[in-house]
Structure 1
Amino acid sequence: MKIEKTAVAGTMESSDIMVTLSPGSVGGIEIELESSVEKQFGNAIRSTIQDVLTELDVKNAHVKALDKGALDCTVRARVKTAAYRACNCDSYQFGGQN
């Protein structure tokens, strides 16, 4: 999946995460995370973001994630939504782990 434009998914409400996904400038996946629970869960959030993008075969992207205590399933959903919006896709795979 190729990221063609900047896209956003999520809100800044409590228990949510706002994910902004844009084409990468350095190659690979670059994750910028601000989180109210960074010390406890920062590595897990980064890992979830990386895992979702790997599942979607995204090779080059810049991710800015502003987390307000989102659960793992919410992080996954927001990253997938932002990725599909950013690639101008018209077919989606939201069932199960993909």
Structure 2
Amino acid sequence: MGTERFADLTSCYYTEAQTIQELWKVVKQCNQVVNYATSERAFTPQQELNIGIRAFKELVIKVKDNTKMQNKFGYFNGIVNNLMDEPYFDYELLDTF
């Protein structure tokens, strides 16, 4: 579910499947495991998708503003991490994703 929706959005800007897959992989890798016994992650798949979409929109804005970045995946990783850190301690904000 999440992968397809993320791919639909990102394919409007990036046409290479490998680029889209790498961006989604960044989102998946940033979603930390919080319970190793059950492999439960910090964010639900829906929250993960919403964070990924929001992060991608921010990336596109930065690219269009000609923001200097050495590596778009590294820059995207930073955006995703910031978004995941923000609501992690604020459960009311978490519900907005």
Superposition TM-score, scaled by structure 1 size: 0.46
Higher Rg: 2
Superposition TM-score, scaled by structure 2 size: 0.47
The structure richer in strand per residue is 1
